[in-house]
Amino acid sequence: MEFCDDCGSMMKADDELWVCSSCGHKQPKDPSASFVVTEGQEETEVVDVSDAQDRGLPTTSVVCPDCDNDEAHWYMQQIRSADESETRFFICTECEHRWREDDN
């Protein structure tokens, strides 16, 4: 998702450009960004969690369900509707097992 540098409105994808629906400002898309397109939904950027430590992801004290290590990298992502809370994703610092935690 991109926001307009001129007016702050949300921009929409149009071929190789981001176009502001409010003021018409255009800017090129970042060619290195990864996207996942699901039918009926807008494009969303994929979070690359490979090399989590190199990407500067924070760590927290949580027990890995695979190896019982007590530390993991974490990040949050909105994967459900906007009125639902974000989902927390964890990556074990030892075995790199990945799991998520949703609010119920």
Residues classed as catalytic? 83-84
Distances (CA, A) of 36 to 19, 25, 41, 48, 78: 19, 24, 10, 12, 14
Angle value at C-alpha 88, between 83 and 94, nearest 5 degrees = 170
Instruction: For residue 4, say whether it is annotated as part of any ligand binding site.
Output: yes
Instruction: For residue 7, say whether it is annotated as part of any ligand binding site.
Output: yes
Instruction: For residue 34, say whether it is annotated as part of any ligand binding site.
Output: no
As a whole number of angstroms, the distance between CA 20 and CA 97 comes to: 39
Instruction: For residue 99, say whether it is annotated as part of any ligand binding site.
Output: no
The DSSP secondary-structure symbol of 32 reads: T
Instruction: For residue 23, say whether it is annotated as part of any ligand binding site.
Output: yes
Instruction: For residue 67, say whether it is annotated as part of any ligand binding site.
Output: yes
As a whole number of angstroms, the distance between CA 2 and CA 6 comes to: 12
Binding site, by residue number, is: 4, 7, 20, 23, 64, 67, 92, 95
Q: Which residues are annotated as a binding site for Zn(2+)?
A: 4, 7, 20, 23, 64, 67, 92, 95
